[in-house]
Amino acid sequence: MGVAYRGDHYHGWQSQPSGRTVQDKLEAALSEFAAMPVGTLCAGRTDTGVHGLNQVVHFDTPLDRPEFSWIRGTNRYLPKDIAVQWCRPVGAGFHARNSARGRRYRYLLLESAVRPAIEFGGCGWIFRPLDGAAMQAAAALLVGEHDFSSFRSSECQALSPVKQLRRLDVSRHGAYWRFEFEASAFLHHMVRNIMGCLVAVGQGNRAPGWMAEVLAARSRDAAAPTFAPDGLYFVGPIYDAELGLPDATAAMDWIP
């Protein structure tokens, strides 16, 4: 299944005793529709306040129902800010997390003298002008395979800090800045920690070359503070094309 959700009302993706997570809500809805317990495994966990555009989950079930039935039936029991976007049968060897060849994130940042209102919770906010060329130059220094320890949360459980950042693009769309990240995998808070550094460069507090120094330090203390989760979207995982799984949802066209 592909699932889209607003993360600002939930304590992240992963199930917790409070039950106030996206996984808890999805599994409750699936179990209600299927009339039996259904557990899920996802492509990538998201933190409190982080949104999902095409979170992919897999689950095993003995039920044989049409794809549209799973979509509409599950959505009937979901809150309005979580919705299944698509559903496909897959082989027994498929795993939402382990079969992924990469992952994508997007950060949406509003540059405005006044705080967001309509888009509150759906974008980050900065009131000082940003230098796009400086941010892109700093971003380019991170592309490639590196030890990203400087951008890693102390709570990160990844076995290795070495990841391949394949793409980090910076573009402006009216009052909004859009940052596109693609990597083999991401460390905990990696995108938000990189965003903190990019904003420091964009505001002129640091030169673009400072990003290389932060990377080389391999220390969280060398980087800027973690940026707000509001504008962070998990765009989704990347799978082999032969699986035929959708890699886009309608919400991707809604974001500037």
To the query of whether residue 247 is one of the catalytic residues in this protein, the response is no
- Beta strands 51-58 and 232-238 are parallel
If you write DSSP's letter for every residue of 12-30 in order, what string do you get? Answer: -SS--TT--SHHHHHHHHH
- Beta strands 82-86 and 2-5 are antiparallel
How wide is the angle at C-alpha 159 spanned by C-alphas 156 and 165, nearest 5°? 80
Say how far apart CA 211 and CA 189 lie, in whole Å. 17
If you write DSSP's letter for every residue of 205-250 in order, what string do you get? Answer: SS-TTHHHHHHHHT-GGGSPPPPPSTTEEEEEEE--GGG------T
Say how far apart CA 200 and CA 173 lie, in whole Å. 20
Q: Catalytic residue among 47, 60, 131, 221, which?
A: 47
Residues paired with 234 in a beta bridge: 52, 105
Annotated catalytic residues are: 47
